[in-house]
Each structure stands twice: as structure tokens, then as C-alpha cells.
Amino acid sequence: MHTFFVEAMAVPGGMAELNSRERDHLFKTLRARPGDAVELFDGRGGRMDGIVRDGRVVEILSAERVPEPERKLFLYCAVPRRAKFDVLLKQAAELGVWSIRLVECVRSVAKPEGSDRWQVLLQEGCKQSKNPFLPEIVPPISLAVALEEIRAENICAFFGAIRSGEGGAESAAKLAWIVGPEGGFTDEEEAAMRSSGVRGLNLGPYVLRLETAAVCGLAVLRQWMEQ
């Protein structure tokens, strides 16, 4: 069953308000017909079951509000180049990341090119994975500010390192994965993270691309969260 994004919930018996992009996908690309079942979500935990009716409208059959997860996963990430970031956004949404914080590091090269496209990509990832919560993208901050935020919010954070720290995520309510730029973190940045309580996590013997490291680290933390 196909899933579609809506800006607002509707009550059973009401009609879903699809934007032009989602309407075109449903009726022009998929050629939906009366009687076809669809799923809808608003990105804030709202989920609905609907059915296509005559007149190219979707009637809501049932609706529910999913509670926020008790444990949340955050991504602090240096900005990769556009094409790589497009893929990363989808994958982060599929892995259930709660928010994506862009981080400016010493060796950062790419600059953020925020646009409505980012929201569309996140929606696509949520639709693919049935994740009812659309990740938030936070404007760029320095690594120093990111570490202050991690300390203030008591986030259990990790970064990719040759030397791993001890222990897993235990029962932390908030977990974070910090990913540096293509050139990696400087020695000073790594020292600052360790002094802030951020633990190293080794993902293997090989050097990973930014987007690969991001997804692999998130997948490891996601597995810890489910234990």
C-alpha cells in the first residue's frame, strides 16, 4: 500500500488534503482509481488509512496519533556535497533519526544548500520506511556548540574512531552519532569530543565515506536502542 504525506490530519469521514506533488503522484503516476486503499501521515506522529473516491479525492477511514518514541536518535553531521546529502537524508529518515544537526568542522568543505528539496527527501524516506515522524533539520552550528548541546541535553554521543570507547548506549533516552567531514576530524576536535564525554566507536578497519559512516553508525545505535 502506498503512503502519502499530508500537512494536517483529517477525521474519519473527512477528505485528505494532498499537496499538488502528492496528488500528481497518486493520480497521474500511480493512476489511482476509486476503491484503492492508501496510507497517509503528517510527519508528527499522525497516521491515517484512506480510500480513493470518485472525483479524485481520498476519504479518511481511520486515524491515529502515534506517541513520540521514548528513546530518540540524533545525527550531528558535517555537510556532504549535494548528491551525497540527498541520499543521506532519505536513509536517516528510514532509520528513524529524530533530528539532523549540521555541523561545521575545521576540515569542512561543502556548504549547506537548504531548500524545499530537503523536506521532500525526508518525506520520501519516511514513506518508504513507514516512519511517522519527519526528522527536523537544524541550521549549521560549530562543533563546539554541538558539544555544549550534547552536554546540556545529556545525550549519549559517539563518533567514528580507530580507538573505541568502552560501553554501549545503556539505557540513555537520547543517543547521537557525530560524523565529520571527508577529511576527518582534527586531533584537537577529537580531543574536544572525548573531553566532553563523547565516545569513540570503531566501525571497522577501513576508511569510510561520510555518507557511509553516517548510515553505518546510525544503524549500530539503532540496534542498541532496540535491545
DSSP β-bridge partners for residue 78: 103
Of the candidates 39, 100, 101, the one whose C-alpha atom is nearest the C-alpha of residue 66 is 39
Residues 122 and 165: beta-carbon distance below 8 Å: no
Checking if the pLDDT of 143 tops 80, the result is yes
pLDDT in tens, 164-216: 665 566 678 999 999 999 888 999 999 999 999 999 999 888 888 899 999 99
Residues 132 and 107: beta-carbon distance below 8 Å: no
- Cβ count near 137 (within 10 Å): 18
Long-range CB contacts for residues 111-114, cutoff 8 Å, separation at least 24: 111/79, 112/79, 112/139, 112/140, 113/82, 114/139
pLDDT of residue 9: 93
Instruction: Read off the pLDDT of each residue in 103-121 and give the average, rounded to a whole number.
Output: 83
Give the range with max mean pLDDT: 103-117, 165-179, 210-224. 210-224
- Cβ count near 68 (within 10 Å): 11
Instruction: Write out the H or E segment, with its range, that includes residue 94.
Output: helix 82-94
Give me the amino acid identity at 51. Answer: I
pLDDT of residue 70: 93
Q: Which residue has the cell 519527519?
A: 134
pLDDT of residue 193: 96
pLDDT of residue 138: 87
To the question of pTM greater than 0.85 for the whole model, the response is yes
pLDDT of residue 226: 81
Buried b (16+ CB within 10 A) or exposed e, 168-199: bbeebebbbbbbbbbebbeeebbeebeeeebb
Of the candidates 150, 132, 146, 138, the one whose C-alpha atom is nearest the C-alpha of residue 67 is 132
pLDDT in tens, 21-78: 999 999 999 999 999 999 999 999 999 999 999 999 999 999 999 999 999 999 999 9
pLDDT band at 85 (very low <50, low <70, confident <90, very high): confident
- The CA distance from 129 to 65, in Å, is 17
Cell of 195: 573531553
pLDDT of residue 162: 75
Residues 108 and 78: beta-carbon distance below 8 Å: yes
